[in-house]
Amino acid sequence: MRRLSPLACALLAIAILTACNSNSAPGNDREAQIDPAPTPAPRMGAAEALSGIVVEAVQPETMTDADIAAVRGLEGRCSIRLTQVSEPSFLYRPGGPATIKLNGKLIELSAAGEQRFAAGGLTVQLRPVEGEGNAGLPEHDMIVMLPGVKDELGFRGYRQCVGTGEDDG
């Protein structure tokens, strides 16, 4: 059996390692000046955003930094995050409008009662839950009622408020 010389092994190792540095897929490991700036999801009404899709399969999505900037940031708002470390899936001003990300779209909702928001047949109801997560954020249920669907969708998340005078965040 023939053995490789130490020099041949070293050259082979260098060749393998240099090949590992040629990742062409977008992601966190690429240079910021190469990747295009992320664009926010389109903003549209509930009826338009949910038309022509199987609404039973719709789930709230995590907003990106670009999405949050497109809806004027976090200041003066509360958010519902599906995990304590994720970005929000739902943003609202206490007593004011809200935004949810569904089907890759940012959907604006109007206040429709105490922690209730609605537009175009879509309704979101927030309910505080006794308890808090490890980071101290209070738990909340987010109930999503989609147009034309008889069953509501329930999600447990965490509320965080920024500059609203609310007691968390």
The token pair at 77 is: 């708002």
Going from the C-alpha of 59 to that of each of 13, 19, 105, the distances in angstroms are 46, 39, 12
Q: Which residues pair with 69 in a beta bridge?
A: none
Q: What is the pLDDT of residues 8-44, one digit of tens each?
A: 777 767 766 665 555 554 455 555 566 677 899 999 9
Distances (CA, A) of 68 to 100, 127, 136: 11, 23, 23
Q: Is the pLDDT of residue 45 over 80?
A: yes
Render pLDDT for 5-16 as a digit per residue (tens, 0 to 9): 777 777 767 766
Residue, of 149 and 123, whose pLDDT is higher: 123
CA distances from 109 to 14, 31, 90, 144 (A): 56, 37, 10, 12
Q: What is the pLDDT of residues 49-107, one digit of tens each?
A: 988 888 778 899 999 999 999 999 999 999 999 998 899 999 999 999 999 999 899 99
pTM of the model: 0.76
**More confident of the two residues 78 and 169:** 78
Instruction: For 116-131, write each residue's pLDDT tens digit.
Output: 999 999 999 999 999 8
Give, for 139, the enclosing helix (H) or strand (E). Answer: strand 138-145
